[in-house]
Chain A
Amino acid sequence: MPSLIKALKSQVGRKLMTGITGIGLMLFLIGHLLGNLTVFGSPDAFNLYTKKLESLGPLLYVIEAGLAFFFLYHTVLGVSIWLKRRKARPEGYDTYKTKGGPSHQSLASRSMIITGSVIFIFLFIHIASFKFGATDTVMIDGEPARDLRALIIEKFTTPAYAFGYAFVMLLAILHLSHGFWSAFTSLGMKHGEGSKKVQAFAYGFGIVLMLGFIFIPLYIYFTGGEGSLISY
């Protein structure tokens, strides 16, 4: 019997953990999007939501540490799998072509390292901009809170932020469209009719989720932050 450490380091374990961390991150994204959508609620809704999150105190740090662990573990595994392929095939083919049919080779599956790397870099900019970005103070329920909603509207009315963000979300759709199906395959899902449904759901899930993320910056940009969905 393999020890747990050895199993985690094995090819099977690495892929399994890529899938588990990936599914964890996808679940987080659902929560993240639902939170973001409060920007279209009452004027105080978004700031109330972020204030509630910040009031979790130590629990928030635990959640953040867990997320960081999942994200870094997923990244390290992805990069190590990519590095290993270069070692496993030091001399590439002069001509290489997929045979199609049951193959899942696609722009999405072949560009996981690129889309993943862009998302990795994006995340640092994203956290620096929004988590640690300078904000005004507003009064929420009679207590001072960070005016993160104003920060979001300010950032997304600049083209670089709005379009940069939307572009990265498009890459994330690609990443998820292979990642979602692949995660379930890594967890032991067999290839067959059920797998096709999961693949279809994967595309749908990735697209709906990311369109949600794309909608917010583009809506704010094109309405100059004054669209009817944003109440003041």
Chain B
Amino acid sequence: MSDNMKIHLKYWKQDGPTAKGFFEERTLDSVNEHMSFLEMLDVLNEELQLEGKDPVEFDYDCREGICGSCNLVINGQAHGPKAETACCQLHMRNYKSGDHITIEPPRAAAFPVIKDLVVDRSAFDRIIEAGGYISVKTGSATEANSIPVEKEQSDVAFDYATCIGCGACVAACPNASASLFTGAKIAHLNKFPQGEVERYNRVTAMVDQMEAEGFGDCSNFGECEAVCPKGISISAIAEMRKDYVKALW
């Protein structure tokens, strides 16, 4: 076990949404390869606090890849170098001693920086509020087979439902588009009989809200799919577009 990896960090510091941000650099001398990326940041913050300095703020909660709180852009890649891995599940064994790591917040006008690496992702909440729900009363859980759903449909819907709303798609998109998030949320509900009822109102309202939040256009770069910790396919965007067009008629 190696616990003496030397890691050169360069991380973003910003006091508030309107403050001017800057990079700070620091070298950690005893990083353990078994640490998660966030645990490495914990070590950094311990060092900073022992010196009486402000810790670097970063978002986290579950640390097991399901809550979608963490969303760091590591060396220019949302959630770091590993595919289908949230940065809380990224381990330092993926780096070697002497590596330089740049950590930035997701950069998008719709995700204003709150402090350092923490951004305000409430734009996503407002997209959900616009139509990412089912307003009919579905009652308590019914017997699973009482509403027939094709296996293929339910599998695809489940894939879309795995979106944890971390915003990596926005962070990585060269246009800062939220199309994968919005598409996944729309498609996962539209695939089911319960969601079908409000299908077209949903797609219109959510696409409108996405636009109103100031996210960029989708240019089919597909980078969102590459960085998505759940590997959600950009087919979700195709589903959104098809439903949006159908909503016209």
Contact = CB atoms under 8 A, between A and B. Distances in A.
Interface of A: 1-2, 4, 7, 10-16, 81, 84-85, 87-105, 109-110, 112, 178, 181-182, 185-192
Contacts of B221: 103-105, 109-110
Contacts of B175: 81, 84-85, 88-89
Interface string B74-117: 01111001010000000000000000001010011110000000
Interface string B202-220: 0010011011001111111
B116 to A, nearest CB: 14
A215 B31 CA distance: 59
Contacts of A100: 226
B55 interface: no
B242 A99 contact: no
Given A4-B248, A87-B214, A11 B179 contact: yes
Interface of B: 10, 21, 23, 73, 75-78, 81, 83, 102, 104, 107-110, 172, 174-177, 179, 200, 204, 207-208, 210-211, 214-223, 225-227, 233-235, 237-242, 244-245, 247-248
Contacts of A105: 174, 221-223
Residue of A85, A99, A100, A189 ringed by the most chain B CB atoms within 10 A: A99
A44 to B, nearest CB: 45
B225 A103 contact: yes
Contacts of B83: 99, 101
Q: Is the interface of B mostly helix, strand, loop or mixed?
A: mixed
Nearest to B223: A103
B248 A89 contact: no
Q: Is the interface of A mostly helix, strand, loop or mixed?
A: loop
Given A92-B107, A100-B226, A109-B219, A2 B204 contact: yes
Nearest to A6: B208
Given A7-B244, A104-B222, A88 B214 contact: yes
Contact of A98 (B210, B226, B248): B226
Residue of B21, B78, B179, B235 ringed by the most chain A CB atoms within 10 A: B235
Given A103-B223, A105-B223, A191-B233, A89 B242 contact: no
B76 A11 contact: no
Nearest to A178: B220
A81 B175 CA distance: 8
